[in-house]
Amino acid sequence: MTDHMREAQRAAELRLMTAVDMLLNEDDGWVPEWDSLAGPFCGCDTCVVREVLDAAWPHMRALALEHTDE
Domain boundaries along the sequence of the chain: 4-68
Nearest to 34 by CA among 9, 2, 65, 24: 24
The DSSP letter of residue 26 is G
In tens, the pLDDT along 11-50 reads 999 999 999 999 998 777 778 888 999 999 999 999 999 9
In tens, the pLDDT along 52-70 reads 999 999 999 999 998 886 5
Q: How far apart are CA 24 and CA 57, in angstroms?
A: 25
- Return the axis-axis angle of helices 45-68 and 4-25, rounded to nearest 10°: 160
